Structure 1
Amino acid sequence: MSGEPTGDGTTRATSTSPAPRSRPRRSPGHFIGAYGLLALAVLLFLVFSLALPDTFPTLDNISSILSNQSVPALLALGAMVPIVTGRFDLSIGYGLGLAHVMVLQLIVSEGWSWPLACAVVIIGGAVVGVLNGVVVEFARIDSFIATLGTGSVLYAVTGWVTGGTRIVSGPNGLPPAFTDLYDSTFLGLPVPAFYVLALVVVLWLLLERLPLGRYLYVIGSNPRAADLVGIPTRRYSVYAFALSGLIVGFAGVLLAAQQQIGNPSVGLDYLLPAFVGALLGSTAIRPGRPNALGTLVAVAILAIGLAGIGQLGAQFWVTPLFNGATLLLAVGFAGYSARRRLRSGAAANRRGGKVAGTSQEAQDVP
């Protein structure tokens, strides 16, 4: 506030605060970039429904897709968290294999109760994530190399635990309450789908609504700036790896309840789809940044595409071809979205500087 003289010798208060700026309009390109992947998922579902009207758009098929893709969706969400900070965790596939083997080993061979075995494995996944974060952040080893090394160690531990053979539940089978973690339904849909939905909500709250998420995004976009504003980048990066390991541990428990047989090499099959979902998800909903909702949409596209081409009678090699081609497209689109976001931010800053300069000039005019 400042005083302005009037004719009667008094002063009248005037405001020097800038006028409120109107909210910028969203361009059509923004909506296409944000929701184009979701529209593509709907389009794929319609195309396969028209091509396979008797089998694809049925409740049984939808339930099968939701059930079969629950573990890949959980693993994609787990892979997404370190990517937020600009790191990659290549050990998640090996960690998934070790987690599902350990659950069955503790229940079948050691006679543990299934809740205790599940809790220990999930906590163990978080511990592995912390070790990954410590190696990356404090030993200063590139995340690709560090997590590939720890993943090889986890694979070796898996082979040592199983002796290179499968773990079979035996004549009495596994506890029904444990297998119900995967086999049960709720509201007519598989329960694993609700696990995925609950995790998406939790990650959305953590990343989009809490300071933790803002810190992780700042670290991922500009670690130097994060250091300058006082964010402990190493500690929060370790948090990201720990959360990823926790999710991988839970995914391993669910995989054990699904397969009911411990296969020491099964986790590697989930590594590529997980990164496809995480990277492709960074081009949707919030283009240019990894996010939980976008990852869910990306996993939906993969699930619909794989189910559709499978029912059309595609050869076995089509699945890895689909995953590999989608990964290349995901990396390309993710890079383009990130560059577009940076250009948009720079343009907004330039416009803001021009507006501020014009306002200052207007105030300096007598």
Structure 2
Amino acid sequence: MTPSPRPPLGRRFGHLVGAYGLLALTALLFLAFSLTLPDTFPTLDNISEVLSNQSIPAMLALGAMIPIVTAKFDLSIGYGLGLAHVMTMQLIANEAWPWPLTCLVVVLGGAVVGTFNGVVVEFAKIDSFIATLGTGSILYALTGWITNGARIVPGPHGLPAAFTDLYDSRFLGLPVPAFYVLALTAVLWLLLERLPLGRYLYVIGSNPRTADLVGIPTRRYVIYAFAGSGLIVGIAGVLLAAQQRIGNPSVGQDYLLPAFVGALLGSTAIKPGRANALGTLVAVVILAIGLAGIGQLGAQFWVTPLFNGATLLIAVGMAGYAARRQLRQRRTEPPRTHHDLPKVTS
């Protein structure tokens, strides 16, 4: 057999820029802020604070990414985070549940909510935007009912130290939540890039008709994607409770936009044109560096939502361009045979 010809130099260079350009921009941005703010920005204290503050947005971005792989969107994640956070505080502070049992119940509850979202989207045939916006509103109503619109404040003895240590602990001199994010990224990378589950989800997201033709049970795997997203939202809610130590019924909404910015911007890196775990991690890092840098430069409070909104628009545009570029490249490649498609076993 004759070996397939190597792609032209220009295409290889374009692929490298597309795959690793955001990573290079992250390094350049860190260098720029370090030179501008040499006394405060490149310090271990600042890096630790950024890692700690951005761990929950990073987890939520990774959770939002999973349904995006299947070309669906879960707009309920911010409301789900708020409910999980409030439920954790309610069960530990007001109901005196043991904190390990509380964490388990809340995380499994997040998975149940995600599964319900998937069922509504797939069986009721409601667009994921509308369906999850509706379920998110219901989750917000439940949060208000549980709290009666007021904050949940622990008693004089506070929360168990072992519970708050879930967020406050350090490992190798760095905040332990950063290692949670790394572990979650590794798990999602393995699931999406190395196991059949990931291949099925990507086929569903790129061409549902092809998925049906090769026998992939589309409904089941889309529900799996939403359930995985809900599970991660539950974990993030537990960590948010350990971080804030009070139950705030409206806190989750502030995390929705940054999560989608990270997930969509991440689809332009590492694997351009498709949502992926490593790209999402890179996107979250560059957002964290940008927000920390402009904050230390003395930016006004309104700069943060402006930064998030503008970055979201840029991310959507870049993701669309990367997807169109990938489609054009596929059209110039030889057609794939049935041997190239993922095999489905019962």
Match of 1:289 in 2: 274
Deviations, residues 89-116 of structure 1 (Å, cap 9, x unaligned): 0000000000010001000111100000
**Alpha-carbon separation, structure 2, partners of 1:131 and 1:225:** 25
**Alpha-carbon separation, structure 1, partners of 2:32 and 2:153:** 41
Report whether the alignment pairs 1:311 with 2:296.
Answer: yes
Match of 1:127 in 2: 112
Report whether the alignment pairs 1:33 with 2:15.
Answer: no
Match of 2:168 in 1: 183
**Alpha-carbon separation, structure 1, partners of 2:306 and 2:334:** 42
Matches within 5 A, 1:222-233: 222-233=207-218
After TM superposition, the runs of 4+ consecutive aligned structure 1 residues lying more than 2 A away are 18-26
Match of 1:19 in 2: 2
**Alpha-carbon separation, structure 1, partners of 2:262 and 2:55:** 12
Deviations, residues 294-321 of structure 1 (Å, cap 9, x unaligned): 0000000110000000000000000000
TM-score (norm 2): 0.95
**Alpha-carbon separation, structure 1, partners of 2:74 and 2:56:** 17
Report whether the alignment pairs 1:323 with 2:308.
Answer: yes
1:95 to 60, 80, 103: 80
**Alpha-carbon separation, structure 1, partners of 2:56 and 2:215:** 37
Deviations, residues 173-201 of structure 1 (Å, cap 9, x unaligned): 00000000000000000000000000000
Residue 19 of structure 1 and its aligned partner are, at CA, apart by 3.2
1:268 to 246, 253, 259: 253
2:202 to 217, 228, 231: 217
Report whether the alignment pairs 1:117 with 2:86.
Answer: no
**Alpha-carbon separation, structure 1, partners of 2:314 and 2:133:** 23
Report whether the alignment pairs 1:163 with 2:142.
Answer: no
Match of 1:252 in 2: 237
**Aligned residues, how many?**
335
Unmatched tracts of structure 2, length 5 or more: 338-346
Report whether the alignment pairs 1:345 with 2:326.
Answer: no
Match of 1:360 in 2: none
Secondary structure of 2:298 counterpart: coil
Residue 235 of structure 1 and its aligned partner are, at CA, apart by 0.4
Deviations, residues 16-43 of structure 1 (Å, cap 9, x unaligned): xx33436657611110000000011111
**Alpha-carbon separation, structure 2, partners of 1:148 and 1:322:** 24
TM-score (norm 1): 0.90
Q: Among the aligned pairs, what percent are the same residue? A: 80
Deviations, residues 219-258 of structure 1 (Å, cap 9, x unaligned): 0000011001100000000000000000000000000000
Residue 211 of structure 1 and its aligned partner are, at CA, apart by 0.2
Larger radius of gyration: 1
Deviations, residues 105-136 of structure 1 (Å, cap 9, x unaligned): 00011110000000000000000000000000
> AA paired with 1:110?
E
Residue 349 of structure 1 and its aligned partner are, at CA, apart by 2.4
Match of 1:86 in 2: 71
> AA paired with 1:147?
T
Residue 342 of structure 1 and its aligned partner are, at CA, apart by 0.5
**Alpha-carbon separation, structure 2, partners of 1:43 and 1:349:** 38
Report whether the alignment pairs 1:198 with 2:176.
Answer: no
**Alpha-carbon separation, structure 2, partners of 1:44 and 1:254:** 28
Residue 348 of structure 1 and its aligned partner are, at CA, apart by 1.3
**Alpha-carbon separation, structure 2, partners of 1:267 and 1:19:** 56
**Alpha-carbon separation, structure 1, partners of 2:238 and 2:28:** 33
Deviations, residues 327-354 of structure 1 (Å, cap 9, x unaligned): 000000000000000001111127x99x
Deviations, residues 145-183 of structure 1 (Å, cap 9, x unaligned): 000000000000000000100000110000000000000
